[in-house]
Structure 1
Amino acid sequence: MVEVATDLPVPAAGAWLHAVVRDAEPATLAVIRGMDGGPVRAVPAAGLVAVVSTASLDEYGEEPLRRNLEDLAWLERAARAHHAVVEALARRGPVVPARLATVHSDDERVADSLAARRAELVGTLDRLTGRDEWGVKGYLVAGATTVGTETTGAGGVGTAYLRRRRAQLTAREERQQVASAAADAVHEALCELAVAGRRHAPQDRRLSGASAPMVLNGAYLVDVATLPSFTEMVGSLGDRHPGLHLELTGPWPAYSFVVERPESALTVREPV
């Protein structure tokens, strides 16, 4: 006869915070999958709702989470799962997204955080209502080579090569300076039409997937009613600045326009 142990310890479970919303229908949450593969759930408090995943502290507690954040494959999977939840919520209304890897030890801590930050969270939800985040990326357009063929003159072949190389570098630096000034002008113009704008650091080519260097990585909070005008402006700015290739992306949850605040003692932040 085989005896089955029934007193094995059950791993403690925390709450991975995805986002805060005004309300959430149970039917909506039932079809959104969280970090553990099961449906996300609501933690209501102070007239708001935190949307969380059940998170085993064996994997998502402070120490194991710090180790996992060093594993790029694990980090990518976690980021995709987290963003998918936030994106699904954003399709249904304003949402305050939590930063990746914000984990509370239990639902009570989540509720306490909502109560403590209620005024700030309500203000943010009000500001995001009827608005979306859009991204505009600007890439340097490679110009035609301006350096002509040079015959070997005084100084020989080596000297001619150095002249050509110096001229090429000068032309490249000039293109980059012009593109940088154009990126500043584009961002300033878009900020005038958007509710708010923010510039992020340009992405590395390995991350952007583009062959050209990025000189503008802007995020803009745009009223839904203003979106046609904003889209048209991006196109006209691209025509006005031929040294830049502009790419409009979105809509995105408003990650760029949410104030970051410390959470509970178990919160672990993504490394910068």
Structure 2
Amino acid sequence: MTETGTYVYAIAHGAGGPDPSGLEGVGGAPVRTIEHAGLVAYVSAVPLDRFGEEPLRRSLEDLDWVEATARAHHRVVEAVSEAVATAPVRLVTVYTGEEQVSALLERRHDDFAEVLSHVAGRREWGVKAYAGQPAGTPPSGGREQEGESPGTAYLKRRQASLHDRGTAWRHAATEAERVDAALSAVAVASRRHRPQDPELSGREEWMVLNGAYLVDDDLADEFVATLDTLRGRGLDLELTGPWAPYSFTDIDLGTAEAPDDV
């Protein structure tokens, strides 16, 4: 019989959370709760021959597996966060048993309580801003000044192209700062993530802003309206959310006390 570990999705207050009986976790496993010290962890059983420390390193090389696991993890976290203040736990956090999870809730109670208090009644919104890039270096064969070699003419065109790109980038970055400042004024907290490269974003334009904003539920309409006033000024603004507050609930659970936490 395959040994199992305890996969943790999220931590919430002990009251007000959803009934886990209707939730399905990674690998289709039923979700259950572990309650301790006024907190509740949403968990499911996972096979250690796939989620143990060494097998997991191999599993993480399978992108299809990672995507399916991330989707299942996200579904559970979102279901919990729609009902109660939630601290999502890092993807693929696995403990050897329920006793370890209870010990975690006891040991880090104050940290979790502080985070849950901060995100209560609030949700995360994401905003990405894209800027079009100027055309590349003009092809060779353009008009050359008298006595100018083709190589010199090319270098001049190259310099002009780089100048145009630099100017466009600075303008886009300035606009992105203005967008971030306006949205941060409505939000309770904000965080700038690293811009995604085109392979991940699926877009060829520059991503000049990848922001996350923690917004009071009763200010959500104001946040969206503020974003709409910023459109049409040279940036393509993409809004996502509302989400569970992934960007604002970072708690380092450590590894020494949880050997199967990856």
The TM-score, its normalising length taken from structure 2, stands at: 0.90
Which of 226, 231, 239 is equivalent to 1:248? 239
Query: Distance in 2 between the 1:167 and 1:120 partners?
Result: 54
SS at match of 2:56: helix
Q: Which moved more, 1:162-171 or 1:136-145?
A: 136-145
Indicate yes or no: 2:205 matched with 1:212: yes
Alignment partners' CA distance in 2, 1:143 and 1:190: 27
Q: CA separation in 2, counterparts of 1:171 and 1:80?
A: 41
1:141-160 matched pairs, under 5 angstroms: 141-142=132-133, 151-154=143-146, 155-160=148-153
Corresponding residue of 1:3? none
Task: Give SS of 1:102's match.
Answer: strand
Moved more, 50-59 or 154-163: 154-163
Query: Is this contact kept in 2: 1:36–1:53, CA < 8 A?
Result: no
TM-score between the two structures when normalised by the length of structure 1: 0.87
| Amino acid of the structure 2 residue aligned with 1:229 | E
Partner Cα distance (2:226, 2:250) in 1: 28
Give the alignment of 1:182-201 within 5 angstroms.
182-201=175-194
Which of 112, 130, 136 is equivalent to 2:127? 136
Q: Deviation digits for residues 38-85 of structure 1, max 9, x if unmatched? A: 310001111111000101111111111122122222211211111111
- How far the C-alpha of 1:257 sits from its partner, in A, is 0.1
**5+ long unaligned stretches in structure 2:** none
**Deviation of 1:150 (Å):** 5.7
Match of 2:33 in 1: 42
The gaps in structure 1 that reach 5 residues or longer are 1-9
| 1:27-38 pair list within 5 angstroms | 28-38=19-29
User: How big is the shift at 1:87?
Assistant: 1.2
Pairwise CA distance, 1:11: 1.8
- Report the equivalent of 1:105: 96
CA distance in 1, matches of 2:67, 2:5: 21
Per-residue displacement from partner, 1:96-116 (whole Å, max 9, x unpaired)? 100011111000000010011
1:168 aligns with 2:133: no
Which letter does structure 2 place at the counterpart of 1:171? Answer: D
CA distance in 1, matches of 2:200, 2:118: 31
Deviation at 1:27, TM superposition (A): 7.3
For 1:132 and 1:94, locate their aligned partners in 2 and report how far apart those are by CA, in whole Å: 9
1:65 and 1:268 in contact (8 A); partners too: no
1:238 deviates by: 2.6
Counterpart for residue 91 of structure 1: 82
Q: Secondary structure at the match of 2:44?
A: strand
Q: Work out the CA distance in 1 between the residues paired with 2:134 and 2:27.
A: 49
State how far apart, in whole Å, the 1-side matches of 2:178 and 2:16 are: 44
Kindly indicate whether the alpha-carbon contact (under 8 Å) linking 2:183 and 2:223 is maintained by their aligned counterparts in 1: yes
The number of residues matched between the two structures is: 257
Q: 1:24 deviation in Å? A: 6.7
Contact 1:24 1:42 in 2 (8 A): no
1:129-178 Cα deviation digits (max 9, x unpaired): 11100001010134589x8x963322144433332232122101110111
Cα distance in structure 2, aligned partners of 1:104 and 1:143: 50
What's 1:258 paired with?
249
Query: Does the alignment pair 1:21 with 2:12?
Result: yes
The answer on 1:228 being equivalent to 2:216 is no
- Deviation string for 1:9-36 (max 9, x for gaps)? x222110000011237897311111123
C-alpha separation between the residues in 2 aligned to 1:262 and 1:127? 18
CA distance in 1, matches of 2:68, 2:47: 16
Match of 1:124 in 2: 115
**1-structure distance, mates of 2:142, 2:39:** 71
User: Structure 1 vs Structure 2: percent identity of aligned residues?
Assistant: 43
23-32 or 153-162, larger mean C-alpha shift: 23-32
User: Conserved in 2, the CA contact under 8 Å of 1:93 and 1:129?
Assistant: yes
Tell me, what secondary structure is at the counterpart of 2:253?
A: coil
